[in-house]
Structure 1
């Protein structure tokens, strides 16, 4: 036993847990959030209000929540997985009944002190329940049709509720993250080949149903697809957002115009500059170097999550860490693809950077689960 190991073992249990935290991951999360504070300060014209200051408070609250979740043994969260999933479903149903409408969608519940978006809760709750399910299920039953059916139901049920809000972007994220969880758990690839074929058929049906009595998507969702395929067809209407976003990114060049010197955001040409399109503000002010640096921070977070999952001998913990890491990846991959014109605009925020309460708090609690799995892993 080394001197360091001896001293760690002599520390009281509570302090020992703090020492076992993945501190590199915490520093990276704080670094990404700081980028968000900087950008929100900039898009407000050099003011901490109305966006940067509330975001800082939410991050501080989320950080405290992450530490609390991390200190609780992982077996407790395994037992709470089904409870979290059921609560998530109830909240989604409550949105349908009592939810607030904003920007043409009914996605929020007003709790008085904050507006909660239950679909954000479901992103983490679904990962938890699928990780608990495959931890309970023997490996030799993973690909049997009977045992594949239940996780499909667990994925499809909240997806339908979210799609009805309507929130196509989050619904797709739930489907993809759920499918990836099944893949990581060892479900046979033929199931995914079948789903891919069905998906291709669904895409064909979506386009064929346009302007018919059985139209599958809303009109604005079709306009988003048209805009994605050719933004120049309506540069002042449906294509305005992505056109201005591309102008902002292109004008940044390699090193950017400089902090608070971005014309697209400061002159309000860039839409939703504090939420969905905040990455374009970063690219305009700090150029390719700034955008790439943020991407490196994101990839380092994924790297530490992956290493932690591979080191963990507990199946539930490994699946949980990988699931939350993949959910995080889908967040920033979809947002960056969207604002660069590589994917349709679906309203997915940039994690820890975009202004928003529910996304920030729930994601930090998700990383608290990652820390709990890391701290309490078998050693």
Structure 2
């Protein structure tokens, strides 16, 4: 592993920010640290950078223990959420700052800054000041400044949080392409699961100072290992006493379950016709319906339980109060420390679909 954290603990007073955190990262990967606010993800990033000192445990970069190394000696580039550009320096001088600290000669600095401005797609901004740039442009310049000293590891703290939604989506693609182009090992913090799933090679999910699961986006989404991950990832509904649902009879009445929209098929009652799994379908009433661009999001009450599913645009229109037939194809059962996929007994695995 290129980056390793072993048994890391960090507290701020009575607050346990990192609780025996351990994981490894391969060289050249783009990793998303994902979790809710206060879950410890930014603390992990800052300890890697040497901006915070762990109470115990070891951090290794490229096989070297960096516990006693200052931030400036770790070979790390850091992109802050607020950009942290020098407001009274030009774009050129902002990018050149770390190179001047390294005492590089002027010719090299000019060449390097020019290369980086080309890399981030802003070759004509060298003489501008940060307040003359858009938020997306400032973020690109902040990345260029972090890359200028040619760090071994790039860290980004919620790099898109201060940018509007449209530009944020464009920058996700741009960041992914840029990291692929330069091949630097990178870790970014986010609380946006869509962002992590779209951008990262692997995701580290944190909660209450602990690592809940590490895996690629598909593994994380389809195979949640803990109740927290099952509920946190995706648009999940928590269902108590799921044994009331057809096809999910269980003698463990204390178990609850997570149902995601893609686990559900909704058919308008009078247009449902013959269905292969009609015996497993529930009668439901539409409680609410919202247009989501590519589909409708439908909240349906079945047997005293509200579930949320997606309904295609080209299907017969639904409205609040309509009767529907609902097929729940699978769910995740959850208890205190584990999850299990439970498939509707009426279905065979071959009939399931996944996103």
TM-score scaled by length of structure 2: 0.25
Looking at secondary structure, tell me which structure has more strand per residue. Answer: 2
Structure whose CA Rg is larger: 2
TM-score scaled by length of structure 1: 0.23
Query: Taking CA–CA contacts closer than 8 Å with sequence separation of 6 or more, which of the two structures ends up with the larger relative contact order?
Result: 1
Looking at secondary structure, tell me which structure has more helix per residue. Answer: 1
